[in-house]
Amino acid sequence: MALNTFHLPDVGEGLTEAEIVSWKVQPGAVVAVNDTIVEIETAKSLVELPSPFAGVVSALLVAEGDTVEVGTAIIAVEDAVPAPGEPTSGGPAAQAPAPEMPGELTTPPPVEPAAGPENGPLVGTGPKADAVRRRPRRAAGANTPEPEPAPAPPPAPAVPAALPAAGADGTGPAAGRPDPRPGPLNQLLNRVLAKPPVRKAARDLGINLADVPATGSSGEVTKQDLMSYQAQRDAEQDGADSFWDDRKKHGAGRIERIPVKGVRKATAKAMVQSAFSAPHVSIFVDVDASRTMEFVKRLKASRDFEGIKVSPLLILAKAVIWAAARNPSVNATWTDDEILVKHFMNLGIAAATPRGLMVPNIKDAQNLSLKELALALNDLAVTARAGKTQPAQMQGGTLTITNIGALGIDTGTPIINPGEVAIVAFGTIKQKPWVLDGEVIPRWITTLGGSFDHRVVDGDLSARFMADVASILEEPALLLD
């Protein structure tokens, strides 16, 4: 059979390396074309790679956690199609069983799935072990029934065909002793015995039943076993060191070292490049967003937005698109030789994820209705938090919003996303005293912060753009113009 090697591809534009996060297959696994085999982390996001080959995984050539360059061989897959001259699964050679020598341990044939009404019960359910019987073998090609053999004495409790019998010295898997070899069948056969209420309690507590010492009369884990294990675990946690004293997981030193790679490394490089190449100018404006809050409340009650998450960020996004149409130079790119003003809006939304800052963008956001924009924002947020954002979703952004208000922050000075010339920071919305028509009354107030590349956007243009965004938050009805 042919041995195929899969080389790490460039899943983005100009990708040079990626980290192997987790393997979805192991050696010996059967894979089909397009089956997910590995999850990698690029400088942009987590990406699942499909298998280009069908066959049996021969070897994993790169370990989890390793960072490898594009073009490196990462997995070997043995072709499932037999070479010329080899018997196929449908030929007589594959159907005829090999003769067995008395007293000699032979390699067992492939085992049918262990669970299911056709193949017998799992261990711990159904009949006792002494009720299990092997199905009689039939010779390949036999078309006439053979005489029934003479009745044999009742056999001892059967050992499944996939497992060898225990040796005379007591070694090897015997009845009641787990089989140390891996495999789906053995995992089922070695399933921990426990009643359904105990299993449910273990799931609720997050306890693996295999870790609980069993004291039941039939070797099952009892409710008392589970409670004793939980009490011991709670005592160990109560006696654990605090963060300041816990050095075991960080080694003997007092400093924890975290490698800089993947998204964090790419973000750091991009932010340094932006901060020291684009001259930033920042502008802040306080906004009475009370009518935006009322508008959002009406949208939530609307049948058209039923089941759609609606927040003030939706109105801000629409306001940024509207204001950029009135001030096109904020939606541009500086290239030293020329300024590229974009007649489309790929609206970036900065998203904080466990793996670092990501800025996916909504393509052609200027063409979306308010409802379509709400759906796009929801999909973007869910995908980013799950770490499933694809590199293409973070390329080609033209202007970015960062919602720091979601963290309870009033305002800040954001750094422009590389390749863009403007970014808007959206602060928290909360009730504050506000002067309206000569009276001090409580209103919903937010602070917008904008940073601009002064090579493209001067002070006057940045001020007009921020004033336009603020006007929409103060009066969302302007969007109907």
Longest CA span, the chain: 108
Domain total in the chain: 3
As to burial, measured by CB atoms within 10 angstroms (0-12 exposed, 13-18 middle, 19+ buried), residue 461 is middle
pLDDT at position 246, please? 59
Q: Within this chain, do residues 210 and 301 fall inside the same structural domain, yes or no?
A: no
CATH code, 36: 2.40.50.100
Q: Does residue 125 have a pLDDT over 50?
A: no
DSSP result, 60-102: E-S-TT-EEETT-EEEEEEESSPPTTSPPTTSHHHHSPPP--T
Q: Within this chain, do residues 269 and 241 fall inside the same structural domain, yes or no?
A: no
* 177 within some domain: no
Domain boundary among 79, 112, 131: 79
Q: How far is CA 449 from CA 51, 319, 378, 427, 464, in A?
A: 46, 14, 23, 8, 13
- The average pLDDT across 444-467 equals 94
* 145 within some domain: no
Which has more pLDDT, 316 or 149?
316
* 11 within some domain: yes
Percent share of the chain, pLDDT over 70:
68
Q: Within this chain, do residues 434 and 384 fall inside the same structural domain, yes or no?
A: yes
Percent share of the chain, pLDDT over 90:
35
Which has more pLDDT, 385 or 471?
471
Domain boundary among 202, 218, 251: 251
According to the per-residue pLDDT averaged within each range, which of 11-15, 34-38, 361-365, 456-460 is highest? 361-365
User: What value does the CA radius of gyration of the chain take, rounded to a whole number of Å?
Assistant: 32
Q: Within this chain, do residues 355 and 403 fall inside the same structural domain, yes or no?
A: yes
pLDDT tens across 29-46, in order? 999 988 889 988 876 667
* 294 within some domain: yes
Active-site residue, from 250, 280, 343, 454: 454
Q: Within this chain, do residues 318 and 197 fall inside the same structural domain, yes or no?
A: no
Domain boundary among 79, 106, 133: 79
Judged by average pLDDT, the poorest of 118-127, 275-284, 348-357 is 118-127
As to burial, measured by CB atoms within 10 angstroms (0-12 exposed, 13-18 middle, 19+ buried), residue 164 is middle
Catalytic residue status for 454: yes
Question: pLDDT band at 329, cuts 50/70/90?
Answer: very high
Question: What angle separates helix 312-326 from helix 370-385, to the nearest 10 degrees?
Answer: 120
pTM of the model: 0.54
pLDDT at position 115, please? 45
How far apart are alpha carbons 246 and 33 in whole angstroms? 46
pLDDT at position 16, please? 79
Q: Within this chain, do residues 312 and 444 fall inside the same structural domain, yes or no?
A: yes
Single-letter code of the amino acid located at 383: T
Q: Within this chain, do residues 201 and 272 fall inside the same structural domain, yes or no?
A: no
Question: pLDDT band at 103, cuts 50/70/90?
Answer: very low
How far apart are alpha carbons 330 and 322 in whole angstroms? 12
How far apart are alpha carbons 117 and 186 in whole angstroms? 18
* 268 within some domain: yes
DSSP SS3 for 478: helix
Which tokens is 91 given?
Answer: 């030929």
Q: Does residue 459 have a pLDDT over 60?
A: yes
CATH code, 463: 3.30.559.10
Q: Which range of residues forms the domain containing residue 206?
A: 193-251
